[in-house]
Amino acid sequence: MASVVLIGTQWGDEGKGKVTDFLAEKADLVVRYQGGNNAGHTVVAKGEEFKLHLIPSGILYEDKTCVIGNGVVVDPKVLLEELAYLSERKVKTGKLLISSNAHVIMPYHRILDALEEDSRGEHKIGTTKRGIGPAYMDKTLRIGIRIMDLIDDEEFAGKLRRNLQDKNNLLIKVYGVEPLDYDTIYQEYSGYAQKIRSLVADSSLIIDESLKAGEKVLFEGAQGTLLDLDHGTYPYVTSSHPIAGGACIGAGVGPTRINRVVGVIKAYTTRVGEGPFPTELADETGELMRQNGHEFGTTTGRARRCGWFDAVIARYAVRVSGISDFALMKLDVLSGFEKIKICVGYRVNNEVIYEFPQSQKIFKACEPVYEVIEGWQEDITGVTHFEDLPKAAQDYVRRIEQLTETQVTLIAVGPGREQTIVRGEIF
Ligand code: IMP
């Protein structure tokens, strides 16, 4: 039995798609366990670029079973569009399964996400407006529509009618906008139900059977540690649990069945949306990182905020997820900088702290304490062995390992599958 949870270590966008794709080659089953189409995973396979939002990146290998777990919120329209996109690109999708317990993103979730966000004014969260938060709200309120309800005509009709009554009240009375029409949504979503019915499964059972048969299971997290609803930079977080523990709930698997946790971490830091970011560089160095690293959102196209590597965040992610290995991404983007900075602590209220603060008020006041190390000028995009990296790049990786007490097992030096330095086996 071997199971690996792969998570984002910072604020998302660390390059999880590439690592999932890399590890999926050895896996039998690839499972997504939280989030929805707020995620955007870019994978370059055989020289071609694929952009996925909902379907696990493992789909690019024909023989892998891919599972959308119960913890995911599924927009069926997006799911079908993604299936059509993959089929156009000649990717076979016959081994995709969806948990019957996953919740459905409805049109009113998307509309309310946008309306709520706009009404927050300067306190906006910067959501992707994909309906993620409102869908999880309905789940915790216990009024959500699950995939199993969607494919059961009677359940769906009843739940949609009851939900729509409440949501239309909100739309009309609170936001003063047009109500939604029951028949239109019913027709549209019944059509989706027909198309996805054959994919619906008890995914927890399938994962259990796979593990018992000695197969390899990869749990693919979306977003990142600091976007976790409980452990992230609340309220600037998403509404699900991207940390490793989220895999247990969002896939229906016990913690004793997880063997390893891979934290995907960028060689620098980026953040989309609002909220404090101590190592942010609002200058030409940050702009250089953005341009060299193509730091623009896969889902929304928004420019990502960029800054130096933050070891306080990395250590925190190791703590809350029990990370056993790091996959260090985009090391090549740092080529060409004369000096490179690593944030090793925060200066706040006349003292230096080394642990991630719980309060956002304190986090906002944190100034980075930097260690400055030599940069390297060489192009490293063709390097496949650690020993062939420039010495300064090797030192940078080793310093990250020291500061986080965690081994860097994979290093990405470019977007392609083959542009990966492997320093040990994960599966
Ligand atoms: P939501 O998930 O759309 O509700 O957005 C909540 C916060 O999470 C916002 O700051 C988003 O920018 C951020 N977010 C959600 N998904 C991603 C992602 O895949 N990468 C990076 N940030 C994300």
pLDDT score, position 42: 83
pLDDT score, position 1: 56
pLDDT in tens, the chain (427 residues): 599 999 999 999 999 988 998 999 999 999 999 999 999 888 887 778 899 999 998 899 989 999 999 999 999 999 999 999 999 999 999 999 999 999 999 999 999 999 999 999 988 998 999 999 999 999 999 999 999 999 999 999 999 999 999 999 999 999 999 999 999 999 999 999 999 999 999 999 999 999 999 999 999 999 999 999 999 999 999 999 999 999 999 999 999 999 999 999 999 999 988 889 999 999 999 999 999 999 998 777 889 999 999 999 999 999 999 999 999 999 999 999 999 999 999 999 999 999 999 999 999 999 999 999 999 999 999 999 999 999 999 999 999 999 999 999 999 999 888 899 999 999 9
> Which residue type occupies 206?
I
- Distance in Å, CA 14 to ligand 1 centroid: 13
Q: How far apart are CA 32 and CA 34, in angstroms?
A: 6
The atom number, within ligand 1, closest to the CA of 274 reads: 10
- Angle subtended by helix axes 132-141 and 107-119, to nearest 10: 110
Rounded to 5°, angle at Cα 277 from 342 and 131: 130
pLDDT score, position 47: 79
The answer to whether 239 and 141 are in contact (CB under 8 A) is no
pLDDT score, position 147: 98
Q: Would the CB of 38 count as within 6 Å of ligand 1?
A: yes
- Distance in Å, CA 128 to ligand 1 centroid: 6
Is 53 labeled as catalytic in the residue annotation? no
- Distance in Å, CA 359 to ligand 1 centroid: 20
* 106 contact partners, CB below 8 Å, separation of at least 6: 131, 135, 145, 160, 163, 185, 189
Q: Which structural domains are found in the chain, ordered by start?
A: 2-100+199-260 (3.40.440.10), 103-196 (1.10.300.10), 265-422 (3.90.170.10)
